[in-house]
Amino acid sequence: MDDHKARAAHWFADLRQEIVTAFEGLETRFGGAAAGRFEVTPTHRDNDGGGGIMSVMRGGAVFEKVGVNISTVHGTLGDKAQKAMAARGVPGMADDPRFWASGISLVAHMQNPHSPAVHMNTRMFWTPHAWWFGGGADLNPCIEYAEDTAHFHAALQAACDAHAPEYYPRFKAWADEYFFIPHRGRARGVGGIFYDDLNTGDWEADFAFTQDVGRAFLKAFLPVTERRLGTPASDDDRETQLRHRGLYAEYNLVYDRGTKFGLETGHNADAVLMSLPPVAKWY
């Protein structure tokens, strides 16, 4: 399994570099002298439990704030995390609560209100008792365009269909449920796919699927973004964007598994909370 861990961690690092390069290229093409660049900061988990890279761009021509982070962490799960794992069906955590996890996490908040915010992550998790992959992507427009939603979903469906015909409908339904905000009675966006605890017994197949989900992201997101960059935006559009960002912040602080896990296991708080928008409004 050590070789599998190393391959997964290396893949997530390569995907991060591919996305960072693509986003900076988009900034250069559309922003010119105002193009933004990523600030790269090493991160560390408490008690020498690994770390990662936090890459954040703020105030770009295209991206108001975007983070593309990777981490590879390890250690011993606390009581709360052990109970959460046991509730998800992982056996033996009380006897040997060691864990290892590696993944990439991305959240982009755009300058133009007509360009949708987006989230993507893929990850591998290991304990002495089980391993699995998880991840997905979802689109979060404040002003929805049906053709953008259709394009985003089509790209993700193509990645799923290459592996199993049941993956897309299953993981789309999972995303619709997972990215729902109960206290608001609505979804935070127009969905995408979400999967967790993926272990078919074939590590190579599950890793290949997770790689294809990662590869599908730029195909799903870049055309949608480029299509909306020149759309004129009014003051009312900006207000709509800021209110919608409030939904995103509420979800990530109250419900998101990754946020909870990162904070509970002592990872760098700034990296964990990278997903929060730079500006939001509530009424």
Q: At what angle do helices 146-161 and 203-228 cross, to 10 degrees?
A: 160
Please check whether residue 245 lies inside any domain of the structure: yes
Please check whether residue 185 lies inside any domain of the structure: yes
- How far apart are alpha carbons 256 and 102 in whole angstroms? 17
Domain residues for the domain of 186 are 2-275
Please check whether residue 280 lies inside any domain of the structure: no
Please check whether residue 267 lies inside any domain of the structure: yes
| Least confident window among 5-14, 82-91, 203-212, 233-242 | 82-91
Please check whether residue 143 lies inside any domain of the structure: yes
pLDDT per position as a tens digit, 140-193: 999 999 999 999 999 999 999 999 999 999 999 999 999 999 999 999 999 999
Place of tokens 């009312």: 236
Tokens read off for 70: 């990777």
Pairing of strands 50-58, 63-76: antiparallel
Please check whether residue 48 lies inside any domain of the structure: yes
Task: Identify whether the C-beta of residue 95 lies closer than 8 Å to the C-beta of residue 43.
Answer: no
Please check whether residue 282 lies inside any domain of the structure: no
- Mean of pLDDT over the chain: 93
- How far apart are alpha carbons 230 and 214 in whole angstroms? 27
Please check whether residue 157 lies inside any domain of the structure: yes
- How far apart are alpha carbons 194 and 174 in whole angstroms? 6
CA distances from 109 to 84, 148, 235, 245 (A): 30, 16, 17, 9
Domain count, the chain: 1
48 conformational bin, left if phi > 0, alpha if psi -120 to 50, beta if neither: left
The pLDDT of residue 221 is 98
Q: What is the DSSP string of 31-81?
A: HGGG----EEEEEE-GGG-EEEEEEEEES-SSEEEEEEEEEEEEEE--HHH
Q: Which residues pair with 130 in a beta bridge?
A: 127
pLDDT per position as a tens digit, 54-110: 999 999 999 999 999 999 999 888 887 778 778 877 777 778 888 999 999 999 999
Q: What is the CATH number of the domain that holds 47?
A: 3.40.1500.10
Task: Supply the residues annotated as catalytic.
Answer: 119
Instruction: State the DSSP H helix or E strand holding residue 240, giving kind and residue range, or none if neither.
Output: helix 235-254
